[in-house]
Amino acid sequence: MSSSLINPVHVESTGGLSVWVRGIGATITGWPAAYRAALAKNRRRTILLTVLVATVLLYPLIYTAIPSGLTRILPLPSSPVIVFMLIFAIMAIGLNVVIGFAGLLDLGYVAFYALGAYTAAFLASPHWGGVSVVLFSNVPAGFPGIHLPFMFIILVAAAVAALFGALLGAPTLRLRGDYLAIVTLGFGEIVPIFFKNLVNVNFSFGPIQLVNANLTGGPLGINPIDAPGLFGIKFGVINGFAPVYLGMGLVLIAIVIARNLERSRMGRAWMAIREDEIAAEMMGVNTVRTKLLAFALGAAFAGVAGALQASYQGATTSDFFMFSTSILVVIMIILGGIGNIWGVIVGAVFVQYVDKTLLSWAGQRMADIGNATGLEQFGDINPSSFSFLLLGIALVVMMRFRPEGFIPSRQRAAEMHVAPPGQAIGSIGLIEEEGLVPELDPTEPGGDEDPEIAEVPGEEPVGETIAESRGEVTDEEQPR
């Protein structure tokens, strides 16, 4: 062994832009080979996933082809619902970075959603009627207001949200878990209130003077907002199912970013902080800055989602952003699977589906039954007004029986059934005592293969368990 073992790794020249581009190119062109490898390893699962992905991609076309009679029997989500599923999927991925990766409870996520939406409203609408800035936009030149291209707005929205995330996090991240939750909740309420009330601003500071300025459009909000546009195609709510593909593209980017973060130096640092913050700090992790980064990066996702939503719908108002939206995203993560990118996407899709499609469909069917049988009570029941109830019950039940969600990351699943730090050794006993799911606690996860989807390893622990080896140990050496 050389003494260089003690030295940190040092990477010299990294080759610059060309190496980077080539690396990305290799990843992209390598996918047929990667696909073949996946096929070889687990044929059935790969084919299943392929079919699933194909169905998802072709869904909008399938939907339009279905005769209307069938939609009475099958509650199928329409295009706008799918777009909202995707918007919330982006948020769920982002909040998963905060809650799932870093273990910080944020109950005010809607604030960043709102910031993103209003960023789009400010940068792509006639709101600032006094000026006219039209760049790379479908809007005719000279049109009042600021009109910037959608892709640029998304980046600005992400930056704005991240900035506010950092501002919120800086003084508050050192608070204990439940206090942090309350503070974020407060922030989540204050931001929409500001957007609602800044309608009559009188403000002068040096050369800046505002008289009766309507900064945010108040409760009426800002509209119309330019629909997203790329290469001449529009992706607004009136543009059929094109927005679905824009949404899918953004979700894909979100997944890639989240995954890259998860498997990086930062991702490991977040995991370590979650496990044992003090030990992480002692191992050199700047816990304050690392948590702040999780907060800010997580917020950025919500900013993008908000910008997408406002542009898609063509309007935004402060009434749209409520505490319940923050909790809705939390529910998506908790139901879907905490810490697991795919799990939270499933959670987002499922909750949106229930909320927007299933419940109203059920209501209509109730009405049908009522009309058919003559029992009016059926028509009076409105399942949509039960949504809070169902979500609440889901939360209580999940916490009781499966707090990690349906498709969690393995770490989080294990953690949820584990004692606090400093008692890690006893944890196996805890799981066995409670008879909880031992197969989520693998000894040989098999390295880098897709750890997102919790799988059941078939192997038994190799070597002694901790309990067994402890039994051998004696205390005879201690002098006291």
- Minimum separation from the CB atom of position 15 to other proteins (A): 5
How far is Cα 243 from Cα 249, in angstroms, rounded to an integer? 10
Between 70 and 456, CB nearer to other proteins: 456
- Of 391, 409, 141, the C-alpha closest to 262 is 409
Residue 344 tokens, joined: 């939270």
Question: Is the omega angle on the peptide bond into residue 224 within 30 degrees of 0, that is, cis?
Answer: yes
- Dihedrals phi, psi of 148, to nearest 5 degrees: -110, 160
- Minimum separation from the CB atom of position 342 to other proteins (A): 19
Q: 382 with 363: CB under 8 angstroms?
A: yes
Helices (H), 318-476: 323-336, 341-352, 359-373, 376-380, 387-401, 410-416, 427-434, 466-472
Q: Kindly report the CA angle at 82 between 80 and 86, in degrees rounded to 5?
A: 115
Which residues fall within 8 angstroms of residue 123, CB to CB, at 6 or more apart?
Answer: 146, 147, 148, 152, 153, 156
DSSP conformational letter for 122: H
Between 134 and 182, CB nearer to other proteins: 182
- Minimum separation from the CB atom of position 51 to other proteins (A): 29
Between 368 and 444, CB nearer to other proteins: 444
Between 184 and 316, CB nearer to other proteins: 184
- Cα 131 to its chain centre, rounded Å, is 36
- Minimum separation from the CB atom of position 440 to other proteins (A): 10
Between 26 and 61, CB nearer to other proteins: 26
Between 20 and 136, CB nearer to other proteins: 20
- Minimum separation from the CB atom of position 358 to other proteins (A): 16
- Dihedrals phi, psi of 132, to nearest 5 degrees: -140, 110
Between 130 and 177, CB nearer to other proteins: 177
Q: 276 with 423: CB under 8 angstroms?
A: no
- Minimum separation from the CB atom of position 310 to other proteins (A): 22
- Minimum separation from the CB atom of position 423 to other proteins (A): 8
